[in-house]
Structure 1
């Protein structure tokens, strides 16, 4: 269930925002939306000056700063903050943005965000389910808009297909991979992140976790065998890394899927 994999922490709307934000995010993610006005925005030393209807993310890693642009008295601001394993899945799938993005003209994103904020104020289970559904729908809309504006270089798509659809090596030789595309490892890492918004090693880890979830649910293989299939020589390291990315150990994840009726093999 998605509401077991995502926790929505808070949300807000300020019609005339003038606040200043400068911080590292620790363990949570946000989507910010400006409907009108202007903002100066920084990720570490990367600077954006945005006006009008824009979205921008904040996430663990960069030092993010934003405040009103000098030519504006304020801006109309909405935001939502959340955390959980589902975010990593969104990032792997390319749904979570990693840089500012203009809102598509003609779409009433105010109404979308206001409905989202209304649902998270509810105290029942259904409000949270609806909020997660609306948030994922918003991220899908934004990802589709990005895809329409950007065509991935062929080598990027080849690497994505290798890790997600082929017979992936979950412990890839980055030196060999870089040489096959006539670039250095540092260039491979930089250009992959620029094109996808995700570090290549982080993407490989997310593919590992996705494959681990499938093996845990659809097979009765022991943990040691699953770890070996995923390129781990140490089952304890596999369990710890799975826990770090998913929030529970592989054993607990498998048991939880069994209890919710999701397994696809006969349990002993």
Structure 2
């Protein structure tokens, strides 16, 4: 015996321009029927919360699936899978498509070459799938927009839940973030961690979906923006603070990545804040409040 619930959607052209669209969502559990062999023209993320089963891809090999796990069904790739008839499994699935899938593949959030992915915990992804299911209520005027936004969130949740990665990155990323603004080359960072440049590149690509250079640059430019917006430091001093001895090179790099020069960014975003600017991330349970003059 098994139970199943599913809904399918038909987003319009404007929704497709959001980058991702949700085409369907389903929640099923029990000894479900075998799926396939079949080939789809869109992506599906199948999150297995409990139970076990098997998956067979285009190479014909049968892979054991043990929860918690993710099945990536990608366009044009034949697949065939089912839960064990004795135990069944509990699954939630989301069908999606859109041009943003190419970027998510490049960033390592969609893995077409890795159809079976062990997860450390399915709770986060399943919570997002549950929100998509709730959005599918009859008459929801924001159905397509709400579910499209949730697909982006689901891809992040699945990336965080991968069993082979720490949720917020590994020790190498943490160390790179800490030392990002020191005037070190990528090779220098690698040597500091006892790694070759190739080993560091592979580690960062696997954990963050980008090169070490791009990872460091993102952190440096974020810090430069903070300094430009919240201090009156000259651009040359900002450049030195984030690891660039040549202010002209820093300005060219900032302009190319941000789209406007540092001085123009400061003119647009600069703030004078009495009492100083806080670096502390606000607690969602205790957000900053605007108090009236009469409020103690």
- TM-score range, shorter-chain basis? 0.5 to 0.7
User: Does 2:118 match 1:107?
Assistant: no
Higher RCO, 1 vs 2 (CA within 8 Å, ≥6 residues apart): 1
Aligned residue in 2 for 1:13 = 23
Q: Distance in 2 between matches of 1:119 and 1:237?
A: 46
**1:215-239 Cα distance to aligned partner (Å, 9 max, x none):** 1122111222212322334434323
Match of 1:145 in 2: 161
From the superposition, tell whether residues 174 and 34 of structure 1 become closer, same or farther in structure 2 (CA, over 3 Å).
Answer: closer
What is the rounded CA distance, in whole Å, between the counterparts of 1:120 and 1:236 in structure 2?
48
Instruction: Report the counterpart of residue 76 of structure 2 in structure 1.
Output: 67
1:79 aligned to 2:88? no
The 10-residue stretch of structure 1 (11-20 or 191-200) with the greater mean CA deviation from structure 2:
11-20
Residues 1-268 of structure 1: pairs in structure 2 closer than 5 A: 8-13=18-23, 18-19=40-41, 32-35=43-46, 54=71, 66-71=75-80, 77-79=95-97, 81=99, 97=109, 99=111, 104=122, 107=126, 109-113=128-132, 115=135, 119=142, 121=144, 134=150, 137-138=153-154, 141-146=157-162, 150-151=165-166, 157=171, 159-165=172-178, 168-258=180-270, 263-264=272-273
Contact 2:128 2:153 in 1 (8 A): no
1:222-268: per-residue Cα shift (whole Å, max 9, x none)? Answer: 2222123223344343234334433444334333324xxx55369xx
C-alpha distance in 2, partners of 1:70/1:55?
10
Q: Is the 8 A contact 2:173 2:204 kept in 1?
A: no
CA 1:178–1:235 in structure 2 vs 1: closer, same or farther (change >3 Å)?
A: closer
CA positional deviation for 1:211: 0.8
Question: Whose Rg is larger?
Answer: 2
Separation in 2, partners of 1:178, 1:187: 8
SS at match of 1:178: helix
CA distance in 2: counterparts of 1:12 and 1:182, whole angstroms: 44
Cα distance, 1:213 vs structure 2: 1.6
User: In the alignment, which residue of structure 1 is the partner of 2:288?
Assistant: none
Is there any run of 5+ residues in structure 2 with no aligned partner, and where? 1-16, 26-37, 48-54, 82-92, 276-296
Per mean C-alpha deviation after superposition, the further-off stretch among 214-223 and 195-204 is: 195-204
Q: Is the 8 A contact 2:109 2:156 kept in 1?
A: no
Tell me how far apart the structure 1 counterparts of residues 18 and 64 of structure 2 sit (CA, whole Å): 27
Task: Give the whole-Å Cα distance in 1 for the aligned partners of 2:20 and 2:131.
Answer: 16
TM-score by length of 1: 0.53
SS at 1:13 equivalent: strand
Q: Provide the aligned length of Structure 1 versus Structure 2.
A: 208
* SS in structure 1 at match of 2:240: helix
TM-score for the superposition, normalised by structure 2 = 0.49
CA–CA separation in structure 2 for the residues paired with 1:112 and 1:237: 46
Q: Secondary structure at the match of 1:34?
A: strand
2:35 alignment partner in structure 1: none
What is the CA distance between 1:76 and its match in structure 2? 6.8
